[in-house]
Structure 1
Amino acid sequence: MTADELSDVRWSPPATGTTTQLQYSADTHVGQVRAVNEDSFLAGPPVFVVADGMGGYERGDIASAIVVEEFEALVGRDHVAPTDLENCIANARVRIRSLATERVSPGSTVLAAAYVEQSGRGYWAIAHEGDSRAYQWRRGTLVRITTDHSIVQEMVDDGEITEEEARVHPERHVITRALGGTGGTGPEFSLVPVEAGARLLLCSDGLTGELSEHSISQVLGDEPGSAAAVDLLVRRAVEAGGHDNVTVVIVDVVSVGDRAVVEDTLDSLSPVAVAEDTIPSGRRSR
């Protein structure tokens, strides 16, 4: 959706007796430069989605809306599996490719996070293509979950350039995976434990292109409410230049039903470079 902001909505999984509770907020802004908001989002538990369309007046906004439409079928379900995310992405890919003409080929990134349960524990099943990002903020630390599918990220991974050089590289706008684009081999998946007190952040590159990860982490640490954090992140990105559309979804884990110790599977992850990438490319993808 690209409509009104969602503020501090609470949701619990429908399983009998669960004590897990999530609180979420979301908003999107066209920014200060673009005439069209090509971003779309969905905040409909158990699934949360950010899609960044490419093409502007050439149906980029339609492409991102298609992504959201496909995921709307999962809203309100008792159970969601990673295969459901994969199917939604596959359906959106077919529909977006049908929009292509000889003159233009619109596309969209996709970033989807669904609450799933395995062996009595809650997890975020995350699927993504492109450079919209998922982060988890917990214990005062911001950790990036996803890795950008972009040329500059590949160059950083290959040791060709540094992360700082990637921020100003002339190809920093070029992505290697997108729905409807010429490149890509499908979505990449992550499974992240749901932990009480943690915050899940989903965002388009309109946020990370304007604000550093340090600045984002400060906001998430200073603003206790999801609505206040969303509002401040969007506003600061727009005030910093707003060169792209800005979309932010935050899900706070108020409580969890599983009292067992959650494995620290994210402790081995480290932040990677911030880049602003919006143009699909046929360069190799991983």
Structure 2
Amino acid sequence: MAETMTTTQTITVGARRLEVSWAGVTHVGHRRETNQDSFLAEFPLFVVADGMGGHAGGEIASQSTVRRLHDVVDSADVGRSAIEGALERVVKDIAAHPETTDEGTGTTLTGVFIESDDEGSRWVALNIGDSRVYLLRDDHLVQVTTDHSVVQELITAGKLSPEEAEGHPYSNVITRAVGASELTPPDYVTIDVRAGDRFVVCSDGLTKELTDYGIQHFLRQHPTPGAAVDAMLAAALENGGRDNVSLIVVQVGDSSSTEDVHAE
């Protein structure tokens, strides 16, 4: 099978020219009849949406989200206000769609985008739900986003350990989503643009089958986004493929600044 295509865009940050490369893939998995995941990987926005809510509901929500965010990319105005405006339109799309169900139709949304202004350029990670963004920096993998889930709230409160969370009966219950009701804005985390950084944007179909160590392993073993995406997808399917699997790998080449990740 041919390797997933890697796309590259050259950008200027300060006095430096950097190369941003990326590849993305989605797969129905082994146990689902339909794929309710959608993804968008078009510079400068890279997002994954994991839909939920009945047979068609999840597809409606995730596809509407990606379509509206694609419009934002086409407008060349990718920023927080434009993204939130698009998500407001998604809420209306979902509410008005004739196939929207009463089974909690909605979608997670997570990803990264380049934000630029007079002060420079930076990555911004955004998140609603339990899809995730990881960052591999200096050979160390960190989860940038925080899950909006019942289990994560229990972990944060000290009532559950990460190990206990793995098999918890509420492990799939999320506390925030893009759905047919008033929108709660995403959480944002800003990250400096640094050469060598590699992001993984993924639905929980990947993290159900691969540990953080496994994600780091495949990033180390495969230097291009296309090869890394293919390897992680193959491993997720081999480990069970219990859910739809979607992931994007984004990486930065050349040299840049050395500031740290910071949350707002």
Q: TM-score, normalized by length of structure 2?
A: 0.90
Equivalent AA in structure 2 for residue 132 of structure 1 = S
1:265 pairs with 2:261: yes
Deviation at 1:120?
5.2
Assess, with a 3 A threshold, how the Cα gap between structure 1 residues 121 and 220 changes in structure 2: closer, same or farther. farther
Q: Deviations over 1:181-236 (max 9, x none)?
A: 67973311111112101101100000001110011111111110110000000110
> Residue 105 of structure 2 aligns with which residue?
106
Distance in 1 separating the partners of 2:90 and 2:80: 16
Deviation at 1:94?
2.3
- Residue ranges of structure 2 left out of the alignment (5+ in a row): none
> Residue 224 of structure 1 aligns with which residue?
223
Deviates more, 1:156-165 or 1:69-78: 69-78
Distance in 2 separating the partners of 1:87 and 1:112: 16
> Residue 17 of structure 2 aligns with which residue?
19
| C-alpha RMSD of the superposition | 2.5
Equivalent AA in structure 2 for residue 29 of structure 1 = H
Q: TM-score, normalized by length of structure 1?
A: 0.83
Equivalent AA in structure 2 for residue 206 of structure 1 = G
> Residue 92 of structure 1 aligns with which residue?
90
Aligned to 1:52, what secondary structure does the other structure show? strand
Distance in 1 separating the partners of 2:174 and 2:181: 10
Do 2:88 and 2:183's aligned partners in 1 also have CA atoms closer than 8 Å? no
Which of 59, 65, 89 does residue 67 from structure 1 map onto? 65
Distance in 1 separating the partners of 2:197 and 2:231: 18
> Residue 242 of structure 1 aligns with which residue?
241
Distance in 1 separating the partners of 2:131 and 2:39: 11
Equivalent AA in structure 1 for residue 170 of structure 2 = E
Q: Deviations over 1:155-181 (max 9, x none)?
A: 000011111111111110100001116
1:166 pairs with 2:165: yes
**Count of aligned residue pairs for this structure pair:** 261
Aligned 1:6-85 pairs, distance under 5 A: 7-13=5-11, 19-75=17-73, 78-85=76-83
Aligned to 2:125, what secondary structure does the other structure show? strand
Distance in 2 separating the partners of 1:156 and 1:183: 27
> Residue 148 of structure 1 aligns with which residue?
147
Do 1:5 and 1:25's aligned partners in 2 also have CA atoms closer than 8 Å? no
Distance in 1 separating the partners of 2:42 and 2:6: 13
- Residue ranges of structure 1 left out of the alignment (5+ in a row): 269-286
> Residue 271 of structure 1 aligns with which residue?
none
Distance in 2 separating the partners of 1:88 and 1:14: 27
Distance in 2 separating the partners of 1:229 and 1:238: 14
Q: Percent of counterpart pairs with the same letter?
A: 36
Assess, with a 3 A threshold, how the Cα gap between structure 1 residues 184 and 75 changes in structure 2: closer, same or farther. closer
Deviates more, 1:47-56 or 1:197-206: 47-56
> Residue 186 of structure 1 aligns with which residue?
185
Distance in 1 separating the partners of 2:6 and 2:185: 33
